[in-house]
Structure 1
Amino acid sequence: MVIAVRGLASLRGPRTGGASMNSHVREAGNALINPDRLWDDLMALAEITEPGRPHTRRSFSPLFLDGRRWLEGRFEEAGMSVRYDNAANLIARREGGVAGLSPIVLGSHSDTVPSGGRFDGILGVLAGLEVVRTLTERGIVTRHPIEVIDFLAEEPSEYGLSCVGSRAMSGHLRNDLLALKRSDGESLGQAIARVGGKRDELANALRTDIAAFLELHIEQGRVLESGGTDVGLVTGIVGIVRLRIVFTGAADHAGATPFDLREDALVAAAHMVTTVRSVGEDLSRRGRGYVIATTGCLDVEPNAANVVPGRVTMVVEVRAEDAVLLDEFVEVIDQASEVVASWLRVRRSEFTLLSSSRPALCDTRLRNHLAVSAQELRLTSVPMASGAGHDAAFLSLIAPMAMVFVPSRDGKSHCPEEWTEKQQCADGTAVLLEALLRVDRDETFDAPAVADA
């Protein structure tokens, strides 16, 4: 039987006075999902880790596969069917009540960085599971099928690539990427086959049948915590451009070479470090979304206290919501590095684009459903960009996508100290559940399912 509801938030009955807004918020989160069960799952999966290095579950490792077997059991206990696609993405499915509709997809990733945290990615997968459990317990059959996906290798893997599973699902895992190798010679394509995928049939991992994708994630920053805000409504995921710039001068004796005779490559690089910062700040003031720029790597040669640096390699990164600003940054830094090199009598011997990904904007309809859901649950919210990359960026290439953030204590992530409170996890999951029900009723997402390519 299909139970038609306006949203689970409406099942709580009329709001009454006599309590603070904050208490209403906490009651709202607890009313929809089971915070203790969600928390117990988060802590249980965190225990599957390398001894002495919490919380480490690297993609393609035996512990990663142990974690996935644990997830399979939880999904099956919730009455979901479980399968792996040809890219070794773990997909759990709950059927819908209306034949022919495309699935609404929730999810994230269960792999970690070395000594990573208990929430990054993992919360998004387990929140999807908790959403399905809650629907089943309340006897609600959604019109659309619901899928919860644990994407393969969202974090940078030993093969030098991140977002492996979502790249494949969106048709962007090229053959040259599959040939990438780790130190023992195993290729990425071989590794995918080893963990349940099909290297020679990856084209069949491409999805064309997703009605909408929603991802709950920890913020990995301090915006929500510093503002006392419950959830962040993501406007878009930044594009990322990385550049390598090499200045070549002359290594000379530091005591015997006067300033006016030096060809100091590090002085040129130092000027570019401040230029990168100032150009990024200028672009961020344009009012066209989030922009941040960083010089994160300097390799100085010969790197000796008594030698004028003869060669410096620097790696520069810029992240922005607006693709035009990414291009403008590259153009300005290209010109500025030539000017600095000429002024300081060194050569700019290399200017290389190392990598480039375009920004991914969140779907306006989904953002609105998330915003209304947070409001109904009496949770405070703020629109914000995601300065980190996510599987959702690749999903946006094949389906409408949106994300919701919950706070990270002290902004810490990718470390053992990564922490989000139990109630914060529950609040984010409640927003995810409420938004899913709204999307399920929204007929603009009712395009019929198309078979996988």
Structure 2
Amino acid sequence: MQINAERLWARLAALAEITDKAEPWTRRSFTPRFLEGRAWLEKEFAAAGLAVSRDAGGNLVGHLPGREAARVPIVLGSHSDTVPAGGRFDGTLGVLAGLEVAQSLQEQGIVLDHPLEVIDFLAEEPSDFGLSCIGSRAVAGALTQDMLAMTRPDGMTLAEGLAYVGGRPDALAEAARPRGAIAAYLEVHIEQGRVLESEGRDIGIVTDIVGIRRERIVVSGRADHAGATPMNLRHDALVGAARIIDAAHRKAFAGGTDDKPMVATVGYLVNQPNAANAVPGRVEMILEVRSGDELAVSAFTQELLAAAAPALAELGVSATSSLISHVPPTPCAEPIRTAIVRAADGLGLNHRAMPSGAGHDGMFVSRVGPIGMIFVPCRDGRSHAPEEWIEPEQAATGARALAAAVLELDRALAR
């Protein structure tokens, strides 16, 4: 089976151009620019011969019938939203490689036994509501009423955001799929690291996706005048936050193992009153911890704050935490990994097994059916940055491996 490498690259370039012109390459979920990208994708899905729909969870779905309509589908996809200045390939490669496979199947007269779906999942990246993987959560039946009540800074609720992008928050049960409703889920993604490039590999075959836990930590002190308050009488919440951040860095650095490394990040922080002449009285931050070790991820924040308590007491500040989200480590299914290996060997691709340190929609899709992922190298491992880049041939290699894996799985699962 052949894929059209030029068409795939042209689509990647065209979707990348739908961006916030002041901050390339940005297409944030729940924004007019995101809807512009979705409208373009919908036309491309239809032009490729797919039956197009949008489910209640705000996911864009393209459907291609199989020879046996009663079979559950093989699903390909990823997401089209980005982080700010987030790059041109994270997410979009998975959607457009899936679309290229579906279109190439039709053009070459290949009919699978299984139906095939290509899905652009809504808001895989952390949204302004504080939640990620919104569309795939809906598919897994894991988008709760509490989540729908989350608000972004302008006061819009997630329920209102879903309606804005064409979802139906009052009918989410229609988007949820029961376990076994997907025969297999496959996604092509840039590695977002340097292993494949440094080793000269064509693709990586993902073994598992790390667990991700996000907690909101609030450090409470007292706001005072910065000039009139002596150092020994201050209750500086920002100094307390700095102690916690440093301790989190050290704890993650010392934790983890070679096969299950650990990372911890505070990438979001709000300081109040945030004035040059005021002692900070309150700091809100989000701590994210990732590892394949579920117990270590779950216990990290509680252990961190317990260890930091004496230092915070010295400063006269306190800290509390509340859970935002927690997704346990997700293994990729052995039969799908085997199919990808066979596909890669048949294409003569140099490959290796590797974990994913980044989160993906597959974490939630795995609750519905078995998942697998294919990584392609990206330049210098850069991602979530304007410098994110892959070469056209690397995109094509990922799509060829995906197509071959789909054919392998279709035959294996039809037995």
2:133 equivalent to 1:163: yes
**Contact kept in structure 2, 1:56 and 1:115, CA below 8 Å:** yes
Equivalent residue of 1:215, what SS?
A: strand
In structure 2, the CA distance between the partners of 1:157 and 1:130, relative to structure 1 (3 Å rule), is: same
**Mind listing any 5+ residue stretches in structure 1 that lack a counterpart?**
1-7, 9-31, 447-453
Counterpart for residue 34 of structure 1: 4
Partner of 1:334: 305
**Are residues 1:230 and 2:202 paired?**
yes
User: What is the CA distance between 1:173 and its match in structure 2?
Assistant: 1.2
Per-residue deviation at 1:226?
2.7
Preserved contact between residue 65 and residue 195 of structure 1 (Cα < 8 Å): yes
| Counterpart pick for 1:277 among 249, 265, 284 | 249
User: Counterpart in 2 of 1:383?
Assistant: 353
Structure 2 residue 122 is matched with structure 1 residue 149: no
AA of the residue aligned to 2:51: S
Query: 1:403 Cα shift?
Result: 1.2
Paired position in structure 2 for 1:419:
389
- 1:429 aligned onto 2:399: yes
How far apart, in 2, do the equivalents of 1:63 and 1:80 lie? 24
Structure 1 residues 435 and 262 mapped into 2: Cα distance closer, same or farther (>3 Å)?
A: same
- Residue of 238, 246, 250 corresponding to 2:219: 246
Contact 1:88 1:195 in 2 (8 A): yes
**Deviation (angstroms), 1:379:** 1.9
User: What is the aligned partner in structure 2 of residue 367 from structure 1?
Assistant: 337
- Secondary structure (helix, strand or coil) at the match of 2:110 reads coil
The answer for the alignment partner of 1:358 in structure 2 is 328
Cα displacement string for residues 88-114 of structure 1 (whole angstroms, at most 9, x for unaligned residues) = 211111111124111000001122233
* Root mean square deviation, CA, Å: 3.1
Q: Could you tell me whether the CA contact under 8 Å between 2:327 and 2:363 is conserved in 1?
A: no
Residues 403-448 of structure 1: CA deviation (Å, up to 9, x unaligned): 11112212222333221110010111111111111111123x77xx
Query: 2 CA distance for matches of 1:121 and 1:232?
Result: 16
Read off the aligned partner of 1:194 and give its amino acid letter: Y
1:409 has 2:379 as partner: yes
Distance 1:196 1:276, change over 3 A: closer
Q: Percent identity?
A: 49
Count of equivalent residues = 412
2-structure distance, mates of 1:147, 1:52: 34
2:262 aligns with: 291
Q: In the alignment, residue 317 of structure 1 is paired with which amino acid?
A: E
Q: Name the aligned partner's letter for residue 371 of structure 1.
A: V
CA contact (8 A) 1:156 1:162 kept: yes
Determine if contact 1:108/1:391 at 8 Å carries over to the other structure: yes
Normalising to structure 2: TM-score of the pair? 0.87
> Structure 1 residue 331: deviation in Å?
4.0
Q: Partners in 2 of 1:194 and 1:300 — Cα distance?
A: 31
CA contact (8 A) 1:290 1:385 kept: no
Q: What does residue 187 of structure 2 align with?
A: 215
> Where does residue 287 of structure 2 map in the other structure?
316
Q: Do the aligned partners of 1:103 and 1:147 also contact (CA within 8 Å) in 2?
A: yes
Corresponding residue to 1:134 among 104, 112, 133: 104
Deviations 1:154-193, CA, capped at 9 Å, x for gaps? 2233433322211111101112222334455443323323
Structure 2 equivalent of residue 59 of structure 1: 29
Task: Work out the CA distance in 2 between the residues paired with 1:309 and 1:183.
Answer: 21
- Structure 2 distance, partners of 1:41, 1:437, is 23
The SS at the match of 2:219 is strand
Runs of 5+ unmatched residues, structure 2: none
1:173 aligns with 2:143: yes
Give 3-state SS (helix, strand or coil) of 1:284's partner.
coil
Distance 1:274 1:218, change over 3 A: same
What secondary structure does 1:350 align onto? strand
Evaluate the alpha carbon distance shift between residue 53 and residue 242 of structure 1 in structure 2; reply closer, same or farther with a 3 A threshold: closer
Structure showing greater radius of gyration is 1
Change (3 A) 1:275 1:212: same
Q: Deviations over 1:22-68 (max 9, x none)?
A: xxxxxxxxxx3221111011112222233343333332333333322
Q: Does 1:114 align with 2:87?
A: no
Deviation at 1:216, TM superposition (A): 0.8
Deviations for 1:285-314, whole angstroms, at most 9, x for unmatched residues? 2x5523212344566678889998776655
Amino acid at match of 2:213: V
User: What is the letter of the counterpart of residue 149 of structure 1?
Assistant: I
Instruction: Indicate conservation of the 8 Å contact 2:223/2:273, yes or no.
Output: no
Residue aligned with 1:442, SS: helix
8 A Cα contact 2:139 2:176, kept in partner: yes
CA contact (8 A) 1:295 1:316 kept: yes
Structure 1 pair 192–329 and aligned structure 2 pair: CA distance change class (3 A): closer
Alignment of 1:96-107 (within 5 A): 96-107=66-77
> What's the secondary structure of 2:325's corresponding residue?
strand
Distance of 1:306 and 1:183 partners within structure 2: 25
State the alpha-carbon separation in 1 of the partners of residues 321 and 130 from structure 2. 21
Cα pair distance change 1:50/1:277, threshold 3 Å: closer
Cα–Cα, structure 1 residues 183 and 345, in superposed 2: closer, same or farther, change >3 Å? closer
Instruction: Report the CA distance between 1:143 and its aligned residue.
Output: 0.9
CA distance in structure 1 between the aligned counterparts of 2:56 and 2:363, rounded to whole angstroms: 20
Structure 1 counterpart of 2:256, which letter?
A: S
TM-score after normalising by structure 1: 0.80
